[in-house]
């Protein structure tokens, strides 16, 4: 089985009066990048709130992402994105700039990342627009946008229609969010990103997590699709599984009141794919002391 990205979200804000809450499991998989050339645009927030260590940590994360893709495309970190894939850099604040085109030189990509400075507002719509402009419509390469941001939209047009147009054009969108000083609109990131949200959106309040988030995403993009997936989800004995919503891929059955078995024959073998499963669990009320 190939490597997949997995995530679990528990909607604790939706606990009803009977103690029932929803759990979402999500997976994402795609063909090996060496056999499925991919054009990736890293879209990096350089607004004023990124000044200082947030910007420094983002640069480390973006450069780690580039290194992982470099190695995945030709089995070595040789300073060149291989096998027909490319990476481009777009940065944004009050407006967006294409800092590179879609290229293969790791040194040039890292130089563009390292030269970024923080200042200005946050214009997500222009960022998506500039990223889309880098892709060649005639190319058969898979197309991916990785949007990193630390705040809400404060300039430019509404970004949701632009992100929707990108997805409609076959571009897969991932979002990485850092909860900055002004907060972040997680619902907006979920709206912009390709479904399922749980495997295409990652948010952290800790800037030191950024390198790992960028690394995990690079590994997800570069690894091969998965086959014969079997997931046994076991909940704590304090909880009881009450119902399952049929997953969008594969089948899920209750083995007992604490265990679900989710099986998928294949995922991401011919292109980037996501799968999600929702189920509900119940916790009995505890008597008041």
**Domains annotated on the chain, with CATH:** 5-30+225-282 (2.60.40.1170), 38-222 (3.40.50.410)
pTM of the full predicted structure?
A: 0.71
* Angle in degrees, 0-180, between the axes of helices 160-168 and 124-134, rounded to the nearest 10: 20
Sheet holding 38-45, edge to edge: 96-98, 86-92, 38-45, 142-149, 172-178, 201-204
pLDDT at residue 285, as a whole number: 55
Tell me the C-alpha distance between 268 and 49, whole Å.
Answer: 37
pLDDT at residue 135, as a whole number: 98
pLDDT at residue 223, as a whole number: 73
Contact 51, 118 (CB under 8 A): yes
pLDDT at residue 18, as a whole number: 66
Which residues of the chain register pLDDT less than 50?
1-4, 287-289
pLDDT at residue 17, as a whole number: 56
pLDDT at residue 251, as a whole number: 95
């Amino acid at each position: 089985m190939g490597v997949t990205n997995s995530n679990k979200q528990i909607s604790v804000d939706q606990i009803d009066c009977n103690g029932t809450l929803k759990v979402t499991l999500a997976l994402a998989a795609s063909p090996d990048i060496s056999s499925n050339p991919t054009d990736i645009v890293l879209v990096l927030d350089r607004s004023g709130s990124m000044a200082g260590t947030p910007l420094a940590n983002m640069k480390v994360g973006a450069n780690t992402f580039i290194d992982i893709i470099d190695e995945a495309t030709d089995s070595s970190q040789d300073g060149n994105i291989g096998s027909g894939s490319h990476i481009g850099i777009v940065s944004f604040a009050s407006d967006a700039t294409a800092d590179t085109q879609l290229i293969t030189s790791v040194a040039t990509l890292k130089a563009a990342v390292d030269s970024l400075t923080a200042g200005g507002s946050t214009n997500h719509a222009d960022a998506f627009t500039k990223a889309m402009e880098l892709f060649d419509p005639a190319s058969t390469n898979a197309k991916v946008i990785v949007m990193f941001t630390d705040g809400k939209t404060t300039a430019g047009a509404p970004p949701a229609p632009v992100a929707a147009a990108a997805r409609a054009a076959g571009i897969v969108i991932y979002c990485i969010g850092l909860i900055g000083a002004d907060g972040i609109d997680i619902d907006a990131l979920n709206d912009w990103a390709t479904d399922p949200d749980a495997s295409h959106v990652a948010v952290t309040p800790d800037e030191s997590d950024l390198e790992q988030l960028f690394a995990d995403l690079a590994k997800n993009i570069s690894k091969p699709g998965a086959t014969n997936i079997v997931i046994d989800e076991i909940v704590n004995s304090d909880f009881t599984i009450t119902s399952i919503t049929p997953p969008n891929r594969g089948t899920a059955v209750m083995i007992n009141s604490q265990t679900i078995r989710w099986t998928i024959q294949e995922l991401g073998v011919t292109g980037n794919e996501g799968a999600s499963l929702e189920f509900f669990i119940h916790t009995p009320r505890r008597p008041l002391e």
